[in-house]
Structures are given as C-alpha cells and as structure tokens.
Amino acid sequence: MKQALLVFLGGGFGSVLRYLIAKPLNPLFQNFFLGTFLVNIIGCLLIGLFLGLSAKGNILTYNNTLFLATGFCGGFTTFSAFAFEKHSFLKNGDLLNFAIYMTTSIVLGVLAVVFGLWLAKQFQ
C-alpha cells in the first residue's frame, strides 16, 4: 500500500507541474504545443536520470524510484495530450507541422533519456 501511495503522490505533483508549465506555454505558438513538447522532453530527461540513479543501487531507493520515475514522471509527461495534439494537426491538414512535431518529440525524447542515463553515470 505504501508503494501505491508514493506513486499516487508523485503522479499528483507531476500532473500539477505539467499543468502549470503547459497552460501558459501552449497558446504561445499557433501551430506548436510548446508546453506539452517541453514537458515531455524534460520528463524524458528526468526519467533517464532517475532510472539511471536507481540502477546504481546506492543513490535512489526502490521507493524513491517509484515516487520519482513511476509517479512524478508518469504524471508529468503526457502521451494522451501528445496524441491528441497530433490528431489536431492532421484534422487541420497541417502535415508539415505534424511531421516536425512528431519527429522532434520522438528523437529529442529518446536523446533526453540517453542524456539522463549518462548524467546518472556521472554520480559517484
């Protein structure tokens, strides 16, 4: 039960932070959901860092990892909003921005995870 509570609390914090970041940033560009984009890339970096630190075994405990990676990152990042926003590009016939947003989100997301894992290796 304690682990479920940690995930719940982490997810709540992540969701609120996502809202606070995405709400003011998404309207800035007409054809680009900047807030969701940044949240997802930052979340990829953080989950790479948290899981990398967890893998070291002596920096983050299992409960810390549940709170930070499963809970916080799970609540912070948002695949459903990502998918909905891609649908809106397609619905409007905006194939160029669809392709740019999709490609940069996936490529930068994977690179951010790799960078987070690399950062975690730097801790002794």
Task: Quote the number of domains for the chain.
Answer: 1
- pLDDT tens, position by position, 15-54: 999 999 999 999 998 778 899 999 999 999 999 999 999 9
Annotated binding site for Na(+): 74, 77
Contact 114, 120 (CB under 8 A): no
pLDDT bin (cut points 50, 70, 90) of residue 124 is low
Sequence-distant (6+) residues with CB within 8 A of 110 are 44
- pLDDT tens, position by position, 47-97: 999 999 999 878 899 999 999 999 999 999 988 888 888 888 899 899 999
Annotated binding site: 74, 77
Range of the domain at 69: 2-26+34-122
Predicted TM-score of the model (pTM): 0.86
